[in-house]
Amino acid sequence: AENAPQESTLPTSFDITKPILDQVRDIILVAGMDSRILYANSAARAAYGYSETEMLALCMNDLTHQHSFDKHSPFFRSVHLRKSGECFPVEINSRQILFRETPVILNTIRDITAVSTAEAALWQSEQKYHTLNSELTATNEELTATNEELTAINEELTATEETLRIQFDELLQKE
């Protein structure tokens, strides 16, 4: 039977999922509803500096230094802690899923150190731009005022020169 469905030779359930998740570059942490870590992919173990056994002994809060999030959004930013105590900024996509009919929290986490560094540099650049723009605007206003003063002085001098020329011509005519 050519059209008969072929029987899958792929392993089932987590046997195939784990090796695939270990190839993902992002940090993947699966936590129970009590926030205890049930699975940490190789990217997680490398990023945090813990062994697999150590990771499975932790709760999500053990990795969190500070976070800000909107309770209505699955996406948020946080600052996480490595085993060494070093902090690093992360962006988290967190959602509840069913795994083997058990609710768990799937956390896909991205180290955004480079993004945060770029955002800080952009913010500093924008601040410099606004400062320079304000300084240039003030300088332009000063130059405009100075130009107006010089124009008035020039008009005054031109009028004085004309008056002196007329007076000089009158003196020449009297002689």
What does the block give as tokens for 88?
């690093």
pLDDT in tens, 25-83: 999 999 999 999 999 999 999 999 999 999 999 999 999 887 655 556 678 888 999 99
Q: Describe the strand order of the beta sheet including 37-40 as a list of residue ranges.
A: 37-40, 27-31, 102-111, 87-99, 75-81, 64-68
26, 91 Cβ separation under 8 angstroms: no
pLDDT digits (tens, 9 = 90+) for 87-142: 999 999 999 999 888 899 999 999 998 777 778 788 888 998 999 999 999 999 99
Q: How many residues does the chain have?
A: 175
Token pair 């001098």 is at which residue? 157
Q: How far is CA 67 from CA 52, 83, 89, 115, 145, in A?
A: 24, 18, 9, 17, 51
**Which helix (H) or strand (E) segment is 16 a member of?**
helix 14-21
CA 84 to chain centre: 24
Helix or strand run (H / E) with residue 130: helix 113-174
